[in-house]
A and B are shown apart, each in its own frame.
Chain A
Amino acid sequence: MRTATFMIAVLAMLAIVLPAPALGQANLDINTPAINSLQRSMQQRHTQLAPLYASGAVGLTRDGNVALRDARAVPLAQRQQVNALIASENQDRAALYREISRANGHPEWEADIRATFGQRWISRAQRGWYYQNASGAWVRK
């Protein structure tokens, strides 16, 4: 009886220490207001970014960001606008990685989340888009 009580106490402590997503290989929670709004903002911006990926002006970096790859692919008059677009996208992406790790109770996972996204953006990118390979060189998919 005493052992049973002790076991329950230990389990209760573990339940407090381990947040739910860490128990087993559960899904990560991505359904928070902050994450949803970042997702919407990035989705809207994508209509402007898609042609830039296709022209090779903008590429996907290894660390889960986007970057200006070929400035010559952008008319001079639009360069400032493209740079602003890239900056806003990277801001949203940074916030997204941070929010996902926080929403799941592990702010220290942020770098791992970013690395995971870095791989997934690239592997799901369309043919013809550019991405950075392991040595940092631009490669056309």
Chain B
Amino acid sequence: MRSFLSSLRHSPLLAIGIAIVMVLVVIAALAPVIAPYDPIAITGNSFETPSSAHLLGTNDAGADIFSRLVWGTRTSLAVAVFATTLVLAIGVLVGLVAGLRGGIIDTLLMRLVDVFLALPGLPLLIFVAALVGPSLGVSILMIGLALWPQTARIVRSQTLSLRTRGFVDSARGFGAGPLYVIRRHLLPALGPVVASNLVFVAGAAVTIEAGLAFIGLGDPIAVGWGTMLNRALENPQIYLGSLWLWWLLPAGLALTLAVLGFTFIGVGLEPRFNPRWSRSL
């Protein structure tokens, strides 16, 4: 804990990142309390300008934009959590198996990782999302499938490193089962490295999901920031007057904030493995 606090002091980025994400988590958790209205309820006239009743006005149907913005936090964080979990599951599994088993299995798995890394990510995502149909679940699944290979690589290399330093083999020598070795030695050592990686994954997942929704490949009924951008831009009025200031801008800024929050944490965590960064940031 003390070392964590000291790393916060040494890396303001980490502190800022954590603060941002914490705030978003609180907003998401308290969405029903913070948001004045049900985000899908029709609570005003259409296109009301900001007022005390509707802080960011209302959208084309007459729903409260501020409430939708608040609830949108949930969508983004849910994507971050689920996609990251998926990446964690696949990545750690493949990485561990490759690293521990070695040999032909390692080679095959790593070739698979290479293939996934070489794929044209976004074109493929768009292609699949458009054909399979818009849904949050599909987006999360696709994002998870796109992002796991890096994690697998990292886990594998750490596993190899631990193996070469004899932890594993000596433990095995004492008769420990493979699960015990994994739980006792590998996972604790992997934790910090994987954590940094996963924070980046979370940021990327949030951007990708919003990006898909932005180009019209998200579920337009869902309450999310990318969907808000898409819907605002499809409305010709967005090009006139100042409507964009409260319909387009807040959703984009919220999204940017979330992504920056994750990125700052990721970068902030990095120096602990790479002292150079703690000096330069």
Partners in one complex: no
**B contact set with A: CB distance below 8 Å:** none
